[in-house]
Chains A and B, each alone.
Chain A
């Protein structure tokens, strides 16, 4: 289903939860609404579902305004954060609920339920009650139940929040594959950037009720539109004083300009390891943290602290060691604009003026 949202606002009393949000979603896409908790993501989802009435703005499905359509008539499947399974019904009856509402025949219901039970890997569990299932199984039931009435849009509110970390990543891949095979337009809410990046075709970053940026995970990572997005996606350190960073000393004449530096922007080497010596600056290793598959290195360049990673394959560093650092690029921003600046010294290793 093609979705259009125009100038959506929602206030709860004095609290302005959603501020002037507009976006388009193409048919068949899997969209992740990402942002900090309490940022208005769930409110947007609930307004799409019809469980909440917008204070102003339009929601358009297939070119038809649905603001006044009750949730019963919107044809949307909704997976709640805690699944909201009917606890007095078996798995079978849970999945069959939406079909019984539609007054389908017993055989039709049976066929559809058994198809979904099989699709979600719940075969053999049809006669169990929700409290007899594990978290992951409950999630699958919630998913099968939402899909049963063949909705045109699937909304998922923090679908993995209540599942422990190990099964979570398994379920993520499973869900992504399943949504792809069913071919249904889906929107899910999450506060976990890793989850959004891994699962979504497109991410919408929501903060304080505003839509900060919409785009593919790679685009958002590469070209963050606002300082908030830049700091929210990936890891980063904010540097207020640029004068100590080689290549960026005169990056901006505008006052109040700060730099956001990601660990992967920094190349770290023992003396002699980096080819472009002229672009490097000396640094001291302050701390080392083992992160399972790599080292996290805390560096100090003058008085500026930076963070980067180092492969386990390379020589082991020690706290207090002198190293060279090449800063490839920085995300610069001030009150009026933001831009990405590549290290100018990289392009011309031996700047000479003839």
Chain B
């Protein structure tokens, strides 16, 4: 009995040390020089710009990944025109970004689309900068977060099976109608879950974005790379301030996810 208590206690200690203490440290650190310096840190032009960049990336990446993630999940689970082997191959490729380090993902984009490459030079010529600009950062974040939506939606689709959709088609419903009336209500909470995770992941993405962006202040700097730079410059209060905003967002997302989970269980 006492050994069991010891283990329970230990679990709480590890949990606290790993998750709670850093969170408190960030909060305290942000306020250590008073509320004014916290507000100042956030209202610096580079802070506002970095938060805006992060915001744009999150919105664009989440929108694209939701659309194509759901579509790929549908094709991988339901598509009859894909052979079994191709499906299995695609299915394992989907997980690639999870397996590859984000830094390497970013590097691949630089090597493919950097200004010294054929494709990169072509885009630069028509006035569209990819690497060391917003498109590259979005691309890098897309790469890193791509598996999330597919992996959330696929099991749900497999679980509900195709019979409800077939039943709808027997009653004269064409695919678009069937998707919205029959499939969507079943996968809805899986998609919400995927959106929350994608937002959280793209909010916090660091490695891939750092490599692709070049981390140029007021141009290609995101919230996470700004925190990194503030820490490098020993501007700990400012780093804590931006970090606190990111952390608050993440906690909010987690709460949203819990709510979605509960709704999922009800239905």
Chain A residues packing against B (C-beta within 8 Å): 49, 51, 70-73, 76-78, 80, 82, 84-88, 97-98, 101-102, 145-146, 148-149
Contacts and interface: CB of A to CB of B under 8 A. Distances in A.
B155 interface: no
Interface stretch (B2-10, B21-29, B51-59, B160-168): B160-168
Given A88-B185, A88-B186, A101 B170 contact: no
Contacts of B185: 88
Contact of B170 (A71, A85, A86, A88): A71
B173 interface: yes
Given A78-B167, A87-B164, 15 more contacts: A51-B170, A71-B170, A72-B170, A76-B170, A77-B170, A78-B166, A80-B163, A80-B167, A84-B166, A84-B167, A86-B167, A86-B168, A86-B181, A101-B168, A101-B177
Contact of A80 (B166, B173, B186): B166
Interface residues of B, number: 18
B263 interface: no
B177 A49 contact: no
B169 interface: yes
A97 B166 contact: no
Contact of B166 (A51, A88, A98, A102): A51
B127 interface: no
B185 to A, nearest CB: 4
Residue from B169, B182, B186 having most chain A Cβ neighbours under 10 A: B169
Interface string B149-188: 0000000000001011011111111100100011001100
Contacts, number: 61
B164 A149 contact: no
Q: Max chain B CB contacts within 10 Å: which of A49, A51, A84, A145?
A: A84
Interface string B72-84: 0000000000000
Contact of A101 (B173, B186, B267): B173
Nearest to B188: A88
B167 A149 contact: no
Interface string B107-138: 00000000000000000000000000000000
Contacts of A98: 171-173
A149 B267 contact: no
Given A78-B167, A88-B267, A102 B172 contact: yes
A229 B73 CA distance: 45
A19 B172 CA distance: 29
Contacts of A102: 172
A82 B163 contact: yes
Given A51-B166, A78-B166, A80-B167, A86 B173 contact: no
Contact of B174 (A72, A78, A86, A88): A72
